[in-house]
Amino acid sequence: MFATVSVHSTMGKGAARRWRALWLAWVVVAWAALPSLAQQLIWLGTLGGDESLANAVSADGSVVVGWARNAAGQQRAFRWTAARGMQDLGTLGGSGSVAYGVSADGSVVVGGARNAAGKDRAFRWTAVGGMRDLGTLGGWESEASGVSADGSVVVGEAWNAAGQRRAFRWTAARGMQDLGTLDGDWSAATGVSADGSVVVGYNAAGRPRAFRWTAAGGMEDLNITYAHLLTDGSELLEANAISPDGRYIVGRGYNAATGRIEAFLLDTRRTWR
């Protein structure tokens, strides 16, 4: 809503008309600058094949990432903008790739791509550097699932030298860090806060359990931390994403009240920023 303007009674009629005209012109310009209020659905197309899927979107909605089939039927990571359309991000020498996450401004894309040896590797893509292999934890494969707002922190899962799948957190300075497990040998990181300090995911060995990781507290089982919120028999199985400030965590769990596997939203009442 724009505030109403009252013209002082002593202002001359000509000056008042000119003032009103200037004010109306400002209103028109300001209104034109506002984002469209109309609802809109945009189909993003493919890379020449018959299928595509979007996995993530930038903060302002201008960049979408995911995967699409090319004309040869190969699965390729894409980055879409209205101006450029769907861009094939390539691979690491193999035939396939998938984009799972994008930074807030849309400039950094993360995901998994096959290398020339046929192994899947976590990647970080930028327009300047292209697709970069983030390596592994000494094993043969890795996959990136989330990225911080500025693109500097990447999370996902990687195989270690013992063939165990582990959640990781990657930075250019430190490389790939093994976040450990709650027990057993399989964990996966799926989401990260805007500043990269909080990671969420799930422990898949034995009974799946949702976790939250911080440098100070390590990996914590959300079923233990928030046991007071869970009715008898309910469980938080997977944490798949976290809000930018780290307060909200979403995923899937078992709702004992309905006897179903259901999506959940957890408000932790705590922020990290």
Residue type, 114: R
Quick one: which of 141, 272, 265 has its CA closest to 214? 272
Q: Which residue do the tokens 């990996």 mark?
A: 219
* Rounded-to-integer distance, Cα 190 and Cα 198, Å: 11
pTM of the model: 0.81
What is the structure's pLDDT at 6?
38
Residue range 214-225: average pLDDT? 96
Q: From edge to edge, which strands make up the β-sheet containing 138-147?
A: 138-147, 154-160, 165-171, 175-178
Specify whether the backbone of 196 is left (phi greater than 0), alpha (psi in -120 to 50) or beta: left
pLDDT at 191 over 90: yes
Q: How confident is the model at residue 2 (pLDDT cuts 50, 70, 90)?
A: very low
User: What order do you get walking across the sheet with 64-70 strand by strand?
Assistant: 48-57, 64-70, 75-81, 85-88
pLDDT tens digits, residue range 50-97? 999 989 999 998 999 999 999 999 999 999 999 999 999 999 999 999
Burial class (CB in 10 A: 0-12, 13-18, 19+), 36: exposed
pLDDT tens for 83-137 read 999 999 999 999 999 999 999 999 999 999 999 999 999 999 999 999 999 999 9
Q: What percent of the chain has pLDDT over 70?
A: 86
Task: Give CA–CA dist 83/66, Å, rounded.
Answer: 17
